[in-house]
Amino acid sequence: MAITINFGLILFFHILASNFDILPARTCSNHKFTARRVYSSCQDLPHLSAHLHWTYNSSTGQARIAYRARQGSSGWVAWAVNPNQIGMVGSEALVAFHNSNGSMAVYPTLITSYSPSMLPGELSFQVSGLSTEYSNNEITIYAVVGPFAGGSLVNQVWQAGSLVLDDIPQMHAVSQQNLQSTGELDFLSG
């Protein structure tokens, strides 16, 4: 009888754990970056286990950013600014993934439709210091971006997909998490 009850409790907690995230939340405020990188602000994004860290220079209109998101070694992540509206189409992205030789790849790309090429492209704002790393099942994109036409206020989009073929990120899922990964960000006030 006691064995049945214990097995029942174990099964109950296993089902509970598989339906709810009962692990402590990972937040941006306690994250330690490699190479002593430090950022003055951060935001735990509400979807896709993603976080944005930044330091904004109001005199140049540029933000030094670190975008990090949970991802397996076969997937990709992206962070973007849409200069015209909130939403995916029209956004200008930084995308990162493991390429076919095993090294990390990162580049800017334009999201011009719901089936974008995901090939490298030139953005309307400056991007410098672009790099990426993969550690602890998380991809991080580092860059200096801006200035932006809207000043410190931008429409941001972030995304993740599970497949890269021939070194090209493929379509992401169309779950609520993916479809709701947009919002406004003011680099001055967070």
The model's pTM: 0.83
Average pLDDT over residues 53-81: 93
Could you give all domains of the chain from N- to C-terminal order, each with its CATH number? 34-186 (2.60.40.1210)
- In this prediction, residue 24 carries a pLDDT of 40
Q: pLDDT tens digits for 24-65?
A: 446 777 888 877 888 999 999 888 789 999 999 999 999 999
Who has greater pLDDT, 130 or 88?
130
Residues 6+ apart with CB under 8 A from 53: 28, 31, 33, 39, 41, 42, 65, 66, 67, 68
Q: Is the Cβ–Cβ distance between 131 and 108 less than 8 Å? A: no
| pLDDT > 90: percent of the chain | 49
